[in-house]
Amino acid sequence: MAEKQINYDRDILLVEDKKSGRLKAVTGMSEDGKKIKTVEPSMRNERMFLTVGKNSGDMEKFFQSFMSRSGDPSGTEFYKMSVNGLEMGVNILAGLIGGKLNPEYITSCRVRPQDYMGAAQEHDPKVILTQGEDGKLKAVAEGKDGQLKKVDPTKENADSFLKIDPRGNALENFFQKFAAQFKTPSHTGIYAVSVKAVDMMAAFLDKIIRINPEDKVLDPYRVTPDGKMQEQAQGKYQPLDLNKLEWKEVEKYGLTGDNLQDSLKAMSYGHKSPGLLEIRMEIDGKELQAKARLSFEQQPDGTIKIQTHPYQEKPDFEKPFMGVMFSPDDRKQLTATGHGGRVFELEMTPGGEKVPALVSLDKITNRFEAVPLSEIQIPKMLKGVELSQEQQDGLKAGKGVLVENMDKKQRPGEEPGGKITRIVQYNAVNKNFDFLFTPEQRQQRQQERAAKAEQKTEQDDNQPLKARKVGEVWVRPVQGGVELTREQFKTLCENKPVWVEGMVNQNNKPKQEEGAKQVESTDQKGQKYNAWVWPDQDAGRIRHTSLPPDQWKEVQAKKQAQPAEGFKTQIAVNNEGKTNEATKHSTEPLQKGQTQPTGKQAEKKEQQEQRQSPAKPRKSAGHKM
């Protein structure tokens, strides 16, 4: 029987043995699934090695077993090494790991279990999205006649979505049928998204496509013209595949596509949401509303979970942060710049070992965050500038370092080749660098802003004033025929009164538009008058009054407290015991506005007068003479 040929053009899987600290070659999992089976990385064991390859079913099976049964998968590091020159390569790699040298090379050799768990995620059925006639993404559904159709990607249509298993030839077969029935949209393309969140994903992708259909954040969802999922580029700054997000968590926090889609792009690259989001949280069995920044964290099994970063009103300097109380200088530095500016010895876990780390203040949540120095990689080249050893050491120590003549990001309309000089400082909140203006640059920018503001004011002074709505009142630049000065109009728009002289009655002119009432004139004969002009928000109108608003309102309040003309006689007679000549003989209480007796009251009055007046002497008949 012929001896098996050794294939040197392949990599094998290595793991660090926890007992000896040496690198061993992986051969598989133990029968109980609790231990990793290893052998010495020697060519005599070549036939037993587990080969590294993303299409390898053995690797997928191994990592699925490892992730599901191992107690703490995060504490195990895997590496790959070429079979060619195996023993020497393993020794070199082990030395670099032990001495924490050449981290870039170590990272290139590291193997992430989640990279081989993708197949498990792909077992989830996908829904195909493509552009509709209205320009928005639609979900592909299958009609009763077997023909494909496009429907809105909403929960109401979920039952009609065509669900495709991306394994095997299912996607290719679908694509052939789709291409035969529809013209492939060359502008937007075709996308496959998780059936768990079609509505949210469609809203997110729609937003990105409108801005830039070539954005690489779309890559995890693109379907190529031959009916395959597009291969994602490898590298540090690649977007997460949100098909792997635990969407049930999204719903648990009360989030929807509307309030989340503006943050998804930043979060796809591992950043926090740009601003605070309203979320629903359960604490001690009680449901509470809270504000927080959110971020995504990829788990060892490849799934993505939401991390919350709650908001607090102000930074808490009174309590220790990871076992450290900030000094007055630390507080001043964190408040002014958002960074600690030095290395802190922190307990990354309560009561744990002290670890050197950098600290920054998240000025959106007002919380402190830290990153161990061991996780911070300071590049030798930064935006086209080779950093000196002193600059690298300064950045590693958390200091702000001046870096001159860095390549400037070209904006539309700008000439290429621009350079910038900035103070560079590591930010532990976003795990990246901040590029800050120097004090001289800040002063120059303030002067430029002041000059622009002054120029804008001058331009505004040359523009005619326009009516504005202040609250419920339309404020116009002409009052009583007098054109207000800019200062008067500005004061009036601030809801304050102004004194205006030389106005005339405008009642004969057309009424104001937009619902504002005509001004109240104090002179009905066309004579010029002076008055306080002010917006009466209660009445929804501009008033012209001889008194300032406060005094005018006091007078009006007193008038309202006095009885109206129609009530004066009624109150005087009924309450104060006074008499009215016309009604003085009436015993009935007067009604509103009554100054003359009613018919019945007049009849009673006449009868009463007859009873009260003395009897008239009778005419004597006398004796006829």
Measure CA 149 to chain center. Answer: 35
CA-CA distance, 408 to 421, in Å (whole number)?
9
Task: Assess whether 430 and 491 both reside in one domain.
Answer: no
| Whether residue 294 is found in the same domain as residue 406 | no
**115 contacts: CB under 8 Å, gap ≥ 6:** 54, 302
CA 476, 481, 486, 492 dihedral sign is negative
Q: Are residues 457 and 490 in the same domain?
A: no
According to DSSP, residue 546 is labeled S
Domain boundary at 505, 529, 546, which?
A: 546
Do 305 and 359 have their domain in common?
Answer: no
Tell me how far apart the alpha carbons of residues 207 and 203 are, in angstroms, rounded to a whole number.
Answer: 6
Question: In terms of Cα–Cα distance, which of 528, 476, 533 is closest to 502?
Answer: 528
Q: Using one digit for the tens of pLDDT, what is the confidence trace for 45-91?
A: 877 888 775 445 567 777 766 765 554 455 678 888 887 778 888 88
Query: Do 282 and 308 contact (CB within 8 A), yes or no?
Result: no
Angle at 14 between CA 10 and CA 17, to 5 degrees: 165
* Same domain as 387, residue 495: no
Query: Which pLDDT value is given to residue 613?
Result: 53
Q: What digits encode the pLDDT tens for the residues 506-565?
A: 665 444 333 333 344 444 555 788 999 999 988 889 999 999 999 999 998 888 776 555
Residue 6 within a domain: no
Q: What is the pLDDT of residues 558-587, one digit of tens each?
A: 887 765 555 555 545 554 555 555 555 555
Angle at 396 between CA 395 and CA 402, to 5 degrees: 10
How far is it, in rounded angstroms, from Cα 136 to Cα 185?
12
In whole angstroms, how large is the CA radius of gyration of the chain? 42
Give yes or no: residues 377 and 345 share one domain: yes
Dist CA 180 CA 354 (whole Å): 64
Give the per-residue SS3 of 294-341: EEEEECCCCCEEEEEEECCCCCCCCCCECCECCCHHHHHHHHHHCECC
Q: Is residue 625, in this structure, part of any structural domain at all?
A: no
User: What's the domain range around 104?
Assistant: 11-116
Cα–Cα–Cα angle for 615, 620, 623, nearest 5°?
Answer: 170
Helices marked H in 397-483: 439-461
Burial (CB < 10 A; 0-12, 13-18, 19+), residue 561, is: exposed
Q: Do 167 and 300 reside in the same domain of the chain?
A: yes
Contacts of 230 (CB under 8 A, 6+ apart): 219, 220, 222, 223, 224
* Residue 237 forms part of a structural domain: yes
Residues of the chain with pLDDT under 70: 1-9, 31-34, 53-58, 64-65, 67-75, 114-123, 166-172, 176, 180-188, 225-237, 257-258, 300-301, 457-461, 506-526, 562-625
Residues 211 and 250 in one domain: yes
How far is it, in rounded angstroms, from Cα 50 to Cα 464? 80
Q: Can you give the pLDDT at residue 155?
A: 85
DSSP character at residue 203: H
